[in-house]
Structure 1
Amino acid sequence: MKRFFAVLLTMTMFETTAYAAEKRVTKTAIPLQQEVSFDGHTETMQCYNIDGYTYFRLRDVAQEVTDHIQNYIHLFNVSYDAKTNEIQLINWQNTFKREPYVPVEDAKPYVTGTKERQAIRSMMPVRFGGRDIVADKILHGYNIDGYTFYMLRELADLFDMHIEWCEEEKVIELVSMPWQDENGEPILYRKPAIYLYPEETTDVSVELEYDGALTTTYPAYNNGWQVTAQPDGTLINHADGREYSYLFWEGEGYGEMDFSQGFVVKGEDTVAFLQEKLAAMGMTPKEYNEFIVYWLPYMQNNAYNLISFQWENYDASAKLHITPEPDYMLRVFMAFKSLEQPVSVPEQELPTLTREGFTVLEWGGAEVR
């Protein structure tokens, strides 16, 4: 798709009669059926045009985001609190958990029909992450047929979603934002170090299939590493004849970091935590000491760290192909996020490396901001 332009869109929410007490600013709502792409999946959605802007029901969009958006940090759930007469928005930013949309039981699809409707400016209170969102200043919405419709552009800002307009195909695109740092740059996969422990002296080929861009390798990665490995882990690189302790790489990537389970640890407790967990996963003192020495400066001065070890998602974004095939391999990739205050997450279960036969260990990590 070409010629993308930013657009203001809007979305709907909940059935309510609260608009009777609101300031009755009224507009004409013109029904539309608009194609919207969610990470490449296109749906024709019911919506309205008000003063040149397009408005959608929030619940409809929440369902499509849950069904089709690839990055789970954008998932959000919505609810209406009848006691306080307010809308509540919940997503990963509030809980560090996946928050898929839960449909209202027996809810019927909304159909705009063909007739114009009266749209009444909504002043419905909205809470997001425990704070009030100022209606009519941060979120602009209208009540139509007892439902509240809000601007997608403003909601996208809350949920870090990206919106584009394809003028050529007349399609609105809702696109996942990749995991990135505070400057919008790719996350750096730091210090993955690969240790090889064969039972006897063995020539080993190691190839990395990586979704991102390699920034540093040692020894130099020339479409793979060819080494002779000793049982004590000593490596002789065939390209230069030099001795190495492990194979090292770093790269820029946009892989998904899953914080739905993990550990919340005070910065001052980082050493004790890593010593305990890394040893429990089968790392030797030499291996986990090298891990801790590298990561401690990034973590110890934070008030808290949300720590989650990545498994299937890391393997998917950075595949290792090793010949001969190892008998056992453990890839310890730690993602962490600095916190000012602790949060509650389910504790993560961790595997243990079996050190029998040809064993491979890799460790690395990423800081997510």
Structure 2
Amino acid sequence: MPPAGQTLSASVELALVPEWSFSAIYPVAPVSTKGPASLECLTWDVDVRADGTLFDKRTAAEVTYLYWEATTNAVRPPSPPLEDAPEAFNPAYAVMTPSNSVLIDVSDVPSYIDKALSAMTLHTEARTSFITYWLPAILKHKYIALRFLPQAVYEPAAPMHVTPIPDVVTRVFMLFRGIEAENIDDWRADALQASPETWKNVVRVDESKARDTSLFRVLEWGGMEVKV
């Protein structure tokens, strides 16, 4: 959102790696391809108001946020990562292990996520929308493993360019999966021990800027269920 008392005209361009394809978009925007890899991309042109609401110029829709959803495409099996290579996020082959994820009883998941998102500066409406969107899928399991991706790891899978350039961009992306009863002991023995507040450091949220209402701030939140 822009500084208090101002309305800002902005353009938001979003592209996806080939392992993802847009499946739902709102406000509706045309999808095109770009570059040698034929990445799917779209652009929203909006007026951003100080209260955080948006006016989409193409459809004349007034919205509280821009929405996109994608399906995964198994383009090709990934090559094994080189030892000590930086982590990379491939949507079609997302990696969740006890060493990078926490294990939580499903009854404790909503509270854990709420506290994590709050620490990452998400406001009440965003936290509520996040949890209620994923809750039906989460409740299908007895135990959940989850992690939040560092922004630098998530960004290459869904590069986003906003004009004018924001003062701060916060992109929060969660991975989760159900853990079967026969695997619980292995996960309990090695699962990451992390308080909800720890994830703001993993994601690398600039908390002071993200809470500064005098700045032009962009917040994106989303997630993905990993099925194995």
TM over 0.5: yes
| Letter paired with 1:325 | I
Alignment-derived partner of residue 220 in structure 1: 28
| Letter paired with 2:22 | L
Structure 1 residue matching 2:15: 3-state secondary structure:
strand
Alignment-derived partner of residue 61 in structure 1: none
| Letter paired with 1:323 | T
Alignment-derived partner of residue 350 in structure 1: 199
Structure 2 residue matching 1:326: 3-state secondary structure:
coil
TM-score, normalised by the number of residues in structure 1:
0.45
| Letter paired with 2:94 | M
Alignment-derived partner of residue 240 in structure 1: 59
- Measure the CA separation in 2 of the matches of 1:240 and 1:301: 37
1:317-328 to structure 2, matched below 5 A, reads 317-328=157-168
| Letter paired with 1:219 | P
In the alignment, is the contact (CA less than 8 A) between 2:146 and 2:177 conserved in 1?
yes
1:79-118 to structure 2, matched below 5 A, reads none
- Measure the CA separation in 1 of the matches of 2:140 and 2:111: 14
- Provide, for residues 28-79 of structure 1, a one-character-per-residue CA deviation record: whole Å limited to 9, x for no partner: xxxxxxxxxxxxxxxxxxxxxxxxxxxxxxxxxxxxxxxxxxxxxxxxxxxx
Alignment-derived partner of residue 220 in structure 2: 362
Alignment-derived partner of residue 19 in structure 1: none
In the alignment, is the contact (CA less than 8 A) between 1:270 and 1:300 conserved in 2?
no
In the alignment, is the contact (CA less than 8 A) between 2:28 and 2:59 conserved in 1?
no
CA displacement at 1:257 relative to structure 2: 2.6
In the alignment, is the contact (CA less than 8 A) between 1:205 and 1:226 conserved in 2?
yes
Q: Which has the larger radius of gyration?
A: 1
109, 117, 134: which one aligns with 1:270? 109
Alignment-derived partner of residue 35 in structure 2: none
Q: Which has the higher helix share?
A: 2
Alignment-derived partner of residue 204 in structure 1: 10
| Letter paired with 1:316 | P
Structure 1 residue matching 2:127: 3-state secondary structure:
helix
Structure 1 residue matching 2:199: 3-state secondary structure:
coil
1:157-306 to structure 2, matched below 5 A, reads 197-199=1-3, 200-211=6-17, 212-222=20-30, 223-253=42-72, 254-255=90-91, 256-259=93-96, 260-306=99-145
In the alignment, is the contact (CA less than 8 A) between 2:103 and 2:192 conserved in 1?
no
- Measure the CA separation in 1 of the matches of 2:94 and 2:218: 23
Q: Which has the higher contact order (CA 8 A, sep 6+)?
A: 2
CA displacement at 1:220 relative to structure 2: 1.2
Alignment-derived partner of residue 314 in structure 1: 154
CA displacement at 1:303 relative to structure 2: 1.4
| Letter paired with 1:289 | T
CA displacement at 1:262 relative to structure 2: 2.4
In the alignment, is the contact (CA less than 8 A) between 2:101 and 2:192 conserved in 1?
yes
CA displacement at 1:318 relative to structure 2: 0.5
Question: How many residues end up aligned between the 2 structures?
Answer: 173
Structure 2 residue matching 1:350: 3-state secondary structure:
helix
Structure 2 residue matching 1:228: 3-state secondary structure:
strand
List runs of 5+ in structure 1 lacking aligned partners: 1-196
Identical counterparts, % of pairs: 32
Alignment-derived partner of residue 51 in structure 1: none
In the alignment, is the contact (CA less than 8 A) between 2:10 and 2:47 conserved in 1?
yes
Alignment-derived partner of residue 83 in structure 2: none
| Letter paired with 1:365 | G
Q: Which has the higher strand share?
A: 1
- Measure the CA separation in 2 of the matches of 1:335 and 1:240: 32
In the alignment, is the contact (CA less than 8 A) between 2:27 and 2:61 conserved in 1?
no
